Amino acid sequence: MASTYSFDVVSEIDMQEVDNAINQAMKEIKQRYDFKGTKTEINLVKDEVKIISDDEFKLNSVIDILQGKLIKRGISSKALEIGKIDSGSLGTAKVDCKLIKGIATDKAKKMVADIKATKMKIQAQIMDNQLRISGKDKDDLQAVMQLLKSKDYGIALQFTNYR
């Protein structure tokens, strides 16, 4: 029997599912009557989704469609950080949305502080863009998982590598 147990807290995105969600959203936009004759595009460029449409109202509709498709594909809406909407020339509007991968250091520090505040015998270690939680009692690890799920850190969290 192992003397210590551990798990990793990560924030990952399946890029194939993101691509599938974008393709489904574009298919729906091409079929919708209110988007007939518009110049609406959704492009995936590395870790950014670039959305272009005729005006801000249609752009917001496209964002809603995309978020719905992402959720249906199992990707949290917190994984998409929507930037500032730019109204361009000729009545077009565009926005760049970042895909959030990994846990930023400041958010990881906040998670570690919340874990330490529970006074459980748990070690939390920041490793690059993930967090390793270890302890001797499996029940304490389960309690930490519940604690992290209950708090909102603004990112989608997954628990992996449970040993």
Whether the pLDDT of residue 156 is over 90: the answer is no
Q: How many other CB atoms sit within 10 Å of the CB of residue 34?
A: 9
Q: Name all domains of the chain by residue range, CATH numbers in brackets.
A: 5-12+102-160 (3.30.70.860), 15-99 (3.30.70.990)
Q: How far apart are CA 65 and CA 159, in angstroms?
A: 28
Share of the chain above pLDDT 70, in %: 99
Nearest to 159 by CA among 141, 135, 139: 141
Task: Report, as an integer, the average pLDDT of 17-31.
Answer: 93
d(CA 90, CA 161): 51
Structure pTM? 0.82
Average pLDDT over residues 41-68: 91
pLDDT tens digit sequence for 86-123: 887 777 889 999 998 888 888 889 998 988 888 888 88
Return d(Cα 49, Cα 69) in angstroms, integer.
Answer: 14
Angle at 45 between CA 41 and CA 49, to 5 degrees: 55
